[in-house]
């Protein structure tokens, strides 16, 4: 089918129609930047052709050069047959207004934490200038560390990951944003070996439970397993964060952690903790906030 398409498809409109049909036929799983076949096909086409990502209509009837058609069909083939997420095909992922380099050494950025930085945290952090040191645990591509640096311009950021591969990708993004002097990339396991304390600690740790990992669509199997699963109930990393965070927070310091769909399990495991669940674009059950004072004396 893809071989036949190379000689039959002439215009951007032709390739768009073909891509949407193939994506729907293959019942692809989305969630790495788009949530439907049309938007993902349009993105892949526009990115590959070096066209503005928000402008499709003027180019629909443009006739494709042979090399352009071959490159597009190669990406579509890999998306359909190999189930490679679009972000890995373009080496680009967006989180809000920020775009980042990504490849299969890191998960595709999709944390809700970026929505909560800055103004949404003013009940706990009244002014951005009050954040002098911040920590991003499980930084992956470095996307949240970079957004931390933007929202809190006076802060020095430590960005930690257990994966050296992930830190190599993070270094690319930190350099791209010119933040080498403010973001320290650290290879360690959560808090191990860290020194000093922080005004704000954020983390989007692995949180997928074992059964859900086993049931993940093929697209997600291209992502590093280390960054997805976290024990039988998905909370192994979160338990360690809760156990040690107070030691690394300044008085009135804030901890912000994303845990996916594990709210009920977490609250049952820690009934003594007054988790504050913050509103995100997908609801209020995905990211919790705790202060240092709330953590002290409660976790043993």
Between CA 77 and CA 17 the distance in angstroms is 14
Q: Which of 40, 72, 90 is the last residue of a domain?
A: 90
Domain total for the chain? 2
Q: What is the pLDDT of residues 7-24, one digit of tens each?
A: 689 999 999 999 999 999
| Last residue of one domain, picked from the residues 46, 61, 90 | 90
In this predicted structure, the answer to whether residue 4 has a pLDDT above a threshold of 70 is no
Q: Are residues 150 and 289 in the same domain?
A: yes
- CATH code, domain carrying 46: 1.10.8
Claim to verify: residue 117 and residue 258 sit in the same structural domain: yes
Range of the domain at 182: 96-295
We report the CATH number of the domain holding residue 211 as: 3.40.50.150
Q: What is the pTM (predicted TM-score) of this model? A: 0.92
pLDDT, tens digit (0-9, with 9 covering 90-100), for 32-53 = 878 899 999 999 999 999 999 9
In a domain? residue 300 = no
The two three-digit tokens of residue 259, written as one number: 């845990």
Pick the last residue of a domain from 74, 90, 106: 90
Residues 264 and 186 grouped into a single domain: yes
Query: Do 144 and 6 belong together in one domain?
Result: no
Q: Are residues 114 and 78 in the same domain?
A: no
Question: How do residues 261-287 score in pLDDT, each as one tens digit?
Answer: 888 899 999 999 999 999 998 878 899
pLDDT recorded at residue 2: 64
């Amino acid at each position: 089918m893809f071989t036949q398409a190379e000689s039959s498809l002439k215009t951007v409109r032709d390739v768009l129609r073909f891509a949407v049909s193939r994506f729907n036929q293959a019942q692809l799983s989305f969630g790495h930047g788009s949530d439907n076949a049309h938007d993902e096909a349009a993105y892949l086409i526009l990115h590959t052709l070096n066209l503005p990502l928000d402008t499709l209509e003027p180019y629909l009837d443009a006739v494709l050069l042979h090399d352009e058609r071959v490159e597009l069909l190669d990406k579509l083939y890999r998306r359909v047959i190999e189930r490679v997420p679009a972000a890995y095909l373009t080496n680009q992922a967006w989180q809000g207004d920020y775009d980042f380099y990504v490849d299969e050494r890191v998960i595709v950025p999709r944390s809700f934490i970026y929505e909560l930085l800055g103004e949404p945290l003013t009940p706990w952090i009244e002014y951005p200038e009050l954040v002098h040191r911040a920590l991003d645990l499980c930084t992956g591509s470095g996307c949240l560390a970079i957004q931390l640096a933007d929202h809190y311009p006076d802060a020095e950021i430590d960005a930690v990951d257990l994966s050296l591969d992930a830190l190599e990708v993070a270094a690319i993004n930190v350099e791209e944003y010119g933040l080498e002097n403010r973001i320290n990339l650290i290879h360690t396991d959560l808090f191990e070996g860290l020194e000093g304390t922080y005004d704000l600690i954020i983390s989007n740790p692995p949180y997928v439970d074992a059964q859900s990992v086993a049931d993940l669509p093929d697209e997600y199997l291209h992502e590093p397993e280390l960054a997805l699963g976290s024990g039988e109930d998905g909370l192994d990393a979160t338990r360690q964060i809760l156990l040690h965070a107070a030691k690394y927070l300044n008085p009135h310091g804030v901890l912000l952690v994303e845990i996916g769909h594990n709210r009920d399990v977490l609250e049952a495991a820690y009934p003594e903790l007054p988790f504050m669940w913050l509103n995100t674009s997908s609801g209020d059950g995905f990211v919790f906030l705790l202060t240092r004072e709330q953590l002290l004396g409660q976790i043993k």
